[in-house]
């Protein structure tokens, strides 16, 4: 995709798969993370072009000043020098326990070694949910990821959701410390704001105009940037 969405992204509804077990799992318990309170309006307004001009010096407080979803990526795949790889993702309604979506990355095969691999693959995902998703109040997103041979300090994610240029919600999670060559699992707790009925109707009627940026930082330096868009007209 290389930041331009030149390739069609898969639409994800519900999928399952397996992951490579040859990693050591850290901890026997699922780590649950709640979003920190970040009042975006208190941060100085910044544009996407201004952030691009910073090169590799983009910090967390900078992206909090954005007022719209980015059109391009603010870092390159090779900036992920820690080899962080997300291998499993599950979304569930915390009030009922119902699993709404689940996907896992298939194990890598030896045939892929030396192949021409698109490093941008997986940076953009397209989701489709039913309208009922917009009325959920608390959702858990379980993420499994592996890291390379470097320790990771102060691993943080800032995720910002927009609809037609309007910021809906800012989520801010701290993963903490990750030991080298480890497999880690945590559940992000998303507390959604109650949306007005007219806004819900518009979001259903305008699929994929709800978009998000997910920024990942290590030691307050941007190393990964993923994007997604969403439709809420499933089943209609």
Q: Look up residue 13 and give its DSSP letter.
A: S
Helices vs. strands in the chain: H and E counts, helices first: 3, 12
Confidence category of residue 4, pLDDT binned at 50, 70, 90: very low
Q: Can you read off the two tokens belonging to residue 98?
A: 């119902």
pLDDT tens sequence across 84-121: 999 999 999 999 999 999 989 887 655 544 444 444 56
pLDDT tens sequence across 162-197: 999 999 999 999 988 999 999 999 999 999 889 999
**Ramachandran sector of residue 137 (left: φ over 0; alpha: ψ -120 to 50; beta: rest):** alpha
Separation between Cα atoms, residue 135 and residue 145, nearest integer Å: 29
Residue with tokens 């992920």: 80
pLDDT tens sequence across 42-55: 778 999 999 999 98
Confidence category of residue 70, pLDDT binned at 50, 70, 90: very high
CB 203 within 8 A of CB 134: yes
Mean pLDDT of all residues in 57-66 = 94
Confidence category of residue 6, pLDDT binned at 50, 70, 90: very low
Separation between Cα atoms, residue 85 and residue 120, nearest integer Å: 13
pTM: 0.81
Q: Is residue 18 predicted with pLDDT exceeding 50?
A: no
Mean pLDDT of all residues in 17-37 = 49
**Ramachandran sector of residue 52 (left: φ over 0; alpha: ψ -120 to 50; beta: rest):** alpha
Strand 31-34 to 182-191 pairing? parallel
Q: What is the pLDDT of residue 31?
A: 61
CB 104 within 8 A of CB 19: yes
Of 6-20, 169-183, 217-231, where does the model show the most confidence? 217-231
Q: What is the pLDDT of residue 71?
A: 96
Q: Can you read off the two tokens belonging to residue 104?
A: 């896992």
């Amino acid at each position: 995709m290389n930041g331009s969405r030149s390739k069609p992204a898969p639409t994800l509804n519900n999928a399952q798969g397996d992951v490579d077990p040859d990693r050591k799992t850290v901890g026997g318990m699922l780590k649950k993370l709640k979003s920190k309170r970040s009042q975006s309006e208190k941060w100085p307004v910044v544009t996407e072009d201004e952030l691009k001009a910073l090169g590799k010096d983009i910090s967390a407080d900078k992206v909090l000043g954005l007022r719209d979803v980015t059109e391009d990526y603010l870092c390159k795949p090779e900036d992920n020098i820690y080899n962080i790889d997300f291998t499993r993702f599950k979304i569930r309604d915390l009030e009922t326990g119902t699993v709404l979506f689940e996907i896992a990355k298939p194990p890598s095969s030896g045939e892929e070694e030396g192949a021409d691999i698109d490093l941008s693959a997986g940076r953009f995902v397209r989701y489709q949910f039913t309208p009922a998703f917009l009325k959920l109040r608390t959702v858990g997103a379980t993420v499994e990821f592996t890291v390379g041979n470097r320790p990771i300090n102060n691993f943080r994610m800032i995720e910002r959701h927009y609809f037609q240029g309007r910021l809906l919600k800012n989520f801010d999670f701290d993963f903490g410390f990750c030991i080298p060559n480890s497999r880690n699992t945590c559940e992000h707790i998303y507390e959604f704001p109650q949306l007005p009925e007219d806004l819900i109707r518009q979001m259903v009627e305008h699929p994929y105009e709800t978009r998000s940026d997910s920024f990942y930082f290590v030691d307050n330096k941007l190393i990964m940037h993923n994007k997604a868009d969403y439709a809420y007209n499933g089943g209609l």
